[in-house]
Amino acid sequence: MLTRRLIPCLDVRDGRVVKGVRFRDHVDMGDIIDLAMRYRDDGADEIVFYDITASPEGRSVDRSWVERVARLVDIPFCVAGGIRSVDDARSILHAGADKVSVNTPALERPALISELAGAFGTQCVVVGIDSLQDDDGEWRVRQYTGDPARTRALARRTLDWIDEAQSRGAGEIVLNCMGSDGVRSGYDLEQLTAARAHCAVPLIASGGAGEAAHFIDAFRYSDVDGALAASAFHSGELRIPFLKRQLRDAGIEVRLD
Amino acid sequence: MDVVLIDSGGANIGSVRYALERLGANARLSADAATIMAAERVILPGVGAAAVGMARLHELGLVDVVRSLRQPLLGICLGMQLLFDTSDEGETTCLGLLPGRVARLVGDARLRVPHMGWNRLERVRCDPLQAGVADGAFAYFVHGYAAPVTADTLAASTHGAAFSALVRRGNVMGAQFHPERSAAVGARLLENFLAVRA
């Protein structure tokens, strides 16, 4: 039986892992290889590297670190951040990444999703969605979420965008529920369950994880295929081997030897 | 050990090469018939669609070359599917080194296709290719089509129905999962491939 995936997300700037509020107050957390290998050894099922150097000025960045990661890390990994074209994606995939994830550039130009799927296959194409509930109760997509000053609400309904992204060739959806992001009070189960009903491809929960029960709930109630978390893992409060044992005890299939 | 990866145009060939390098093997990428025939081990990688993969082998004049190999040959993911007679994906005639027809995985509300993630290898037959790989060990899969369980199946996996995860007929071997992305289990499989006798 296919197991549920646990996915740590690392923010990368200039080939180093950093943490902090995006675009300010960055604290250096160490070398990308050291941290990636620690998660690999802990039993992470996949790793997402979020390249925060890339997006703000739209400049091309040195991604030689992708190849360094690919040489040593023997679990799948995805690169997100600043991928605006088939050429951008090709350089990352050829360097050894298994998938690329697009967010803002796909909102600006949805055809990007179909171009990537056509060039590399849908299995390589992840669409990340930042979503927040508005006062009228509707979930809508947010854009430029990396920079609080520029974050913009779009008229686009989140569930419509999930439909469109799939029809254009998204092979996986990462739904970042901004209302719960960073709060560590649990994933947004209501939103994830609604998204699940629209999602025939794998759905990854993001935003709000803080303890084992949150992961159990997301898998059990929202039937997500994977759960992504950053601070919950990085802080050391929630170790993956412990979390996986809790999940297995709760009857959720995980990779645990 | 000299390993040649057939350059079939896939985007993820680099990661297979790195995995072999981690094991101390010298892995080269080639589309040259003489280089492939002279290699001690040959790997047919492949990410993409069956029809495109076969068209590429025809273009390069490598179809009969691959069919005639006597040294250990390992197909990975699509590369394994191409070893079979035919594939439903684009109604493609494949290499015919293994009997069987590759079919589309059937999904439903709870069963997502493509099959993407870690799943168990269920041992069907003992073989040096899976020495040291425990029955029930996990491997990483990404695929929408799969080969049936046949007399050549060494390990099966289940996504809805059972399918071939690891196959072998003499010198012809195939892994539906990605050993280069399957942590210690994948490394052991590749190590065994470098050690097996044809």
**pLDDT(B18) > 50:** yes
Residue of A nearest to B179 (CA): A74
**Is residue B51 exposed (0-12), middle (13-18) or buried (19+ Cβ within 10 Å)?**
middle
Q: Would you write out chain A's pLDDT as a tens digit for each of its 257 residues? A: 899 999 999 999 888 898 765 455 678 888 999 999 999 999 999 999 998 875 555 555 678 899 999 999 999 999 999 899 999 998 899 889 999 999 999 999 999 999 999 888 888 999 999 999 999 999 999 987 766 777 777 789 999 999 999 999 999 999 999 887 767 789 999 999 999 999 999 999 999 999 999 999 999 999 999 999 998 898 888 999 999 999 999 999 999 97
* Stretch B116-123: mean pLDDT: 97
Contact across the interface for B49 and A93, Cβ inside 8 Å: no
User: B48 at the A interface (CB within 8 A)?
Assistant: yes
Q: Are A45 and A255 in contact (CB under 8 A)?
A: yes
Which has more confidence, B10 or B49? Answer: B49
Q: What is the pLDDT of residue B146?
A: 97
CATH of residue B143's domain is 3.40.50.880
Active-site pick, A11, A51, A88, A188: A11
Q: How confident is the model at residue B12 (pLDDT cuts 50, 70, 90)?
A: low
Calculate how close chain B gets to A114, using CA atoms only, in Å: 15
Nearest by Cα to A53 from A63, A42, A38, A67: A63
Contact across the interface for B114 and A3, Cβ inside 8 Å: no
Q: Work out how many CB contacts closer than 8 A connect A with B.
A: 94
Q: What is the pLDDT of residue B162?
A: 97
**pLDDT(B101) > 80:** yes
**Is residue A200 exposed (0-12), middle (13-18) or buried (19+ Cβ within 10 Å)?**
middle
From B134, B138, B142, residue closest to A255, measured CB to CB: B138
Domain count of chain B?
A: 1
Contacts of B162 in chain A (CB under 8 A): none
User: B180 at the A interface (CB within 8 A)?
Assistant: yes
Contact across the interface for B181 and A74, Cβ inside 8 Å: yes
Nearest by Cα to B97 from B129, B60, B54: B54
Q: What is the pLDDT of residue A62?
A: 72
What residues of B are labeled active site?
77, 178, 180
From B14, B158, B186, residue closest to A70, measured CB to CB: B14
DSSP-derived letter for residue B111 is: B
Q: Residue B26 is part of which domain span?
A: 2-195
User: B163 at the A interface (CB within 8 A)?
Assistant: no
Q: Backbone phi, then psi, for A129, in 5-degree steps? A: -130, 125
User: B14 at the A interface (CB within 8 A)?
Assistant: yes
Q: Provide ipTM, 2 decimals.
A: 0.92
User: B52 at the A interface (CB within 8 A)?
Assistant: no
Contacts of B77 in chain A (CB under 8 A): none
- Collect all residues from A whose CB is shorter than 8 A from any CB in B: 1-5, 40, 45, 67, 70-72, 74-76, 90, 93-96, 98, 120-124, 171-172, 200-202, 223, 225-226, 255, 257
User: B12 at the A interface (CB within 8 A)?
Assistant: yes
What predicted TM-score, i.e. pTM, was given to this entire model? Answer: 0.93
| Annotation marks residue A130 as catalytic | yes
Q: What is the pLDDT of residue B64?
A: 98
Q: What is the pLDDT of residue B8?
A: 76
Q: What is the pLDDT of residue A22?
A: 46
User: B22 at the A interface (CB within 8 A)?
Assistant: yes
User: B138 at the A interface (CB within 8 A)?
Assistant: yes
Contacts of A121 in chain B (CB under 8 A): 47-49
Contact across the interface for B183 and A120, Cβ inside 8 Å: no
Strand partners for A13? A16
Q: Which three-class secondary structure state does DSSP give residue B69?
A: coil
Contact across the interface for A201 and B117, Cβ inside 8 Å: no
